[in-house]
Amino acid sequence: MGRQCVRFAPGANAFGFALDWNEDKHEVLLDGSEVDAPVTLIDDHAFLPIETLVNAAGLAILETDDQTHRIVVGTHV
């Protein structure tokens, strides 16, 4: 499994986070806290590993399928 990335703003919104971007430092902020994750900028959009958002929400990646690009997120049972 490779590293799956997601656009920062839509991904953070989907998980209900207040988000911000520090342009000077190129830092992602979720609920006012800096995110310790690699940020990739593509066409003025910030991308970060989806696992970062999932873990910050207290969830886990339960299943991935590289062929269909499907990721299942939930809680550990």
Please, what are the averages of pLDDT over each run of 10 residues along the chain (77 residues)? 77 86 82 85 87 87 88 82
Give the residue numbers spanning the domain of 53. Answer: 5-74
Q: What is the CATH number of the domain that holds 43?
A: 3.30.457
Measured in whole angstroms, the distance separating CA 5 from the mean position of its chain's CA atoms is 7
pTM here? 0.73
Distances (CA, A) of 12 to 1, 8, 21, 45: 22, 6, 12, 13
> In the chain, how many domains are there?
1
